[in-house]
Amino acid sequence: MTARLQNRTALVTGATSNIGRAIAVAFAAEGAHVVVSGRSRERGDEVVAEIRAAGGKADFVAADLDGSPAASRSLAETATGVLGGRIDILVNNAGIYPGAVTADTDEASFDRVYGVNVKAPFFLTAAVAPAMAAAGGGSIINLGSWIARLGIPVGALYSSSKGAVETLTRAWAAEFGPSGVRVNAISPGVVLPPGTEAAGPAASMMKGTPADAPGTPDAIAHAAVYLAADESAFVQGTVIDVDGGRVGVAVIAAA
């Protein structure tokens, strides 16, 4: 541990699995007091236990971020209380991915994806950012996606929601940056939990990239620590691609 986030507080949504879990664990390892938020208390308690066993500080706060302003405001209020009156770092990670093509997507699915992926972080940021500014500053980190900028046949709804999140990142940087609140985003490539064998679309989507394979949640967590820490103080309104080169690079095999 290098204590890059010592004495800071953090709220991580969708922190009971995969990327969110890795970010929560990494923040705590760097000294932050972390609120692990998600729908499953059982999985949340597991993350908290892991963090505490390693000497870190964490608490679980249950939340079903369905997109309603009330749900986001309730989480902000509860987490603020648990964290001693302030949130220094907010990670808008919670999201859902439907696998349907456009013609098979009904209105209820559309509204749910935009509720969880766009409305929930919008209203959570609205509840947290002004308090951050009043306290002297903070860092907000949003999770985008590589398919927000590289189209694939299945994923129009999800990719459009993540495109909205990346646009909000830039808009919020302009809105809150002058008050000391930095807003940035991470755009992950295909990421699988450690020990998961890549197969099917997950494996093929990373072919032709420098990495040539899916990444792990830890890779995203390292980027999140950087964006939360002081060394990124001059980074504002940026989307960092942590995608094995998926969006920006094509590797052409020699004949």
Q: Which residues are catalytic?
A: 158
H-only helix segments in the chain:
18-29, 41-53, 69-82, 107-114, 120-135, 156-176, 201-204, 217-228
From the number of C-beta atoms within 10 Å of its C-beta (0-12, 13-18, 19+), residue 211 rates as middle
Query: Positive or negative CA dihedral for 123, 125, 130, 131?
Result: positive
Q: How far apart are CA 224 and CA 128, in angstroms?
A: 18
Instruction: Name the residue among 55, 63, 65 with its Cα closest to residue 32.
Output: 55
DSSP string, 134-179: HHT-EEEEEE--GGGTS--SS-HHHHHHHHHHHHHHHHHHHHHGGG
Asked whether the beta carbons of 60 and 37 are under 8 A apart, the reply is: yes
* H or E element that contains 206: none
Q: In the Cβ-directed half-sphere of 192, how many Cα atoms lie within 13 Å?
A: 14
